[in-house]
Amino acid sequence: MRGRWLKHLAPYGFLAPFLVFFAIFWVWPIFHSLYLSFLRTRRPPWVWDPGFNWGRLIGDEFFWQAFWNTLLILGLQVPLMLALALSLAVAFNSPLLRAKGFFRFAFFAPLVLGAVPYSAVFRLIFNADFGILNYFLGLFGIPSVAWLFERAPAMLTIIVALTWRWTGYNAIILLAGLQNIPLSLYEAARIDGARGWQQFVYITFPLLKPVLLFCFVLSTIGTMQLFTEPWLITTTGPAGATETLGTYLYKQAFRAVNFGYGSAIAYSIALLAAVFAFIQIRLAGRES
């Protein structure tokens, strides 16, 4: 009897180290940060006040500015990136393309680069004084643009940087979806006289919708947590024009050392990401 129990418990013994670390470094921080969101932590001693941080979110103009900036990036950058990624995936899957392995790696390579060096390169490219972009604009007689110091150009810089880094990643995911579509469908369509664009509209796109939805949800969650690019490229400026929920969370939690309010912002980001993802999934399900 004892041997049987030991046999059944043996797998849990092997899993125990992982489960312990998982509980300490993942489960406990989640619940502890939720607890912190109900405390006043601006100055000691910390006081239990459930409505303080959550009530502050409603009237915090800087939070809402970060929210609308994040929503603008989500509404402009994500559709543009997925459209480009879909075009690349179709090109990668084309039998006419040579050296497919090289091109797939070349467009996926930006993701391999570290966030810090890639952001530093983009900050140099868009530099108003000696950036290569303004240099090329000057060759055509176009005045220099203060990319990092004006609201619209700074936001455009962030959108271009994000699109450059993540388009290839999504293209590879979409390519995997394309390769799972049976070739017999295209052969039957060609026999029926369907042209290339008709095959894309009536076969490729409908069958690729679940993969597109997957990429859309992942991109939405990633955008809601966006931190690296606005922090390193534009330093959230000018005047908060590229402040995002992720950068505002960092400022409140680690610069202002207000962990309670930072936790409330973190949970608001998680809730917003969940709501947007739920809406996208529901709309896609209703359409299908």
Q: What is the pLDDT of residues 44-82, one digit of tens each?
A: 889 999 899 999 999 999 999 999 999 999 999 999 999
Q: Which amino acid is at 207?
A: L
Assign 9 a pLDDT band (cuts: 50, 70, 90). confident
For residue 245, which of 219, 272, 218 has the smallest C-alpha distance? 272
Q: What is the pLDDT of residue 218?
A: 94
Q: What is the pLDDT of residues 156-173, one digit of tens each?
A: 999 999 999 999 999 999
- Tell me the C-alpha to C-alpha distance, in Å, between residue 91 and each of 30, 94, 148, 288: 42, 5, 34, 26
Q: What is the pLDDT of residue 250?
A: 96
Specify the higher pLDDT residue, 5 or 114. Answer: 114
- Which residues lie across from 48 on neighbouring strands? 39
Residues contacting residue 203 through CB under 8 Å, at least 6 positions apart: 181, 185, 186, 189
d(CA 90, CA 93): 5
- Taken in order of first residue, the domains within the chain and their CATH numbers are 60-287 (1.10.3720.10)
Exposed, middle or buried: residue 83 (CB in 10 Å: 0-12, 13-18, 19+)?
exposed
| 191 pLDDT more than 80 | yes
Q: What is the pLDDT of residue 192?
A: 84
d(CA 72, CA 3): 61
CB 186 within 8 A of CB 204: no
* Crossing angle of the two packed helices 61-92 and 205-224, in degrees rounded to 10: 150
- Residue that has been written with the tokens 């990624």 in this structure: 85
Average pLDDT over residues 212-237: 94
Q: What is the pLDDT of residue 13?
A: 84
0.75 cut: is pTM over it?
Answer: yes
Q: What is the pLDDT of residues 97-107, one digit of tens each?
A: 888 889 999 99
Euclidean distance between the first and the last CA atom of the chain, given in angstroms as a whole number:
54
Q: What is the pLDDT of residues 102-125, one digit of tens each?
A: 999 999 999 888 889 999 999 999
